[in-house]
Structure formats: C-alpha cells, structure tokens
Amino acid sequence: MPRISSRRPTRACSLGRACCATRTTSATCCGRCATRSALEAGELYAAIAALPGDFRDVLVAVDITGLSYKEAARALRIREGTVMSRLYRARQQVVRQIEGG
C-alpha cells in the first residue's frame, strides 16, 4: 500500500524567507538554507553509516526505501516487532550522533 503523504515537514529558511518553505528553485532562494541542508544531509548520512549493520538495514528499508514494517520484516527475514524495535533504536542513535557530533 503506497503512502498517502510524506512524513517530511516543510522547513523554513533560518532567515524566515518564503522561498525555502515554498520549495522554489534554488536560484531564487537565499542560499543559506541550501548550504545548511547539504551539511545536514552529510551529517545524517555519516550517522547512518556509523550504525551497526542490523540497525542500518532496518532504517534504510523503512525510512529511506519506504517499505512498511511488514515488508521490511519479510525482506530482512526478521519479525515485525524486531523491525520496530531496531528502527526505534537506530533513530535514537542517529539523533544522538547528530546532536552530540
């Protein structure tokens, strides 16, 4: 079953400009938000890469690939409850890595 809406929130620029919140082309954007987004993406990918393999596999399957818990469990050959607990722990570790690093 496909997702109906994205879980990703629309973010405004640090300067509060509407260009970033309305997702217009980067040519009309202030530029600061694009640079910050690139840095945040780099930090996020590094934090995901630092995860133990089991946690990383579940995080990628659910949050990046977009599989449901049931689909991820079937693909990874683990129980659905294991998917949920590993995903929870993986997300916690990513947040700690980004906030602490």
Mean pLDDT for the stretch of residues 47-56: 96
Mean pLDDT for the stretch of residues 38-64: 93
What Å distances lie between residue 26 and 2, 32, 34, 35, 89, CA to CA? 29, 10, 7, 11, 35
Helix axes of 69-76 and 80-100: crossing angle, nearest 10 degrees: 100
Q: 50-100: what CATH class?
A: mainly alpha
Q: Which two tokens stand for residue 67?
A: 């599989």
Give the span between the Cα atoms of 39 and 29, in whole angstroms.
17
Q: What is the location of CATH 1.10.10.10 in the chain?
A: 50-100
**Residue-level pLDDT at 17:** 45
pTM of the model: 0.64
**Residue-level pLDDT at 48:** 95
Other beta carbons within 10 Å of 83: 24
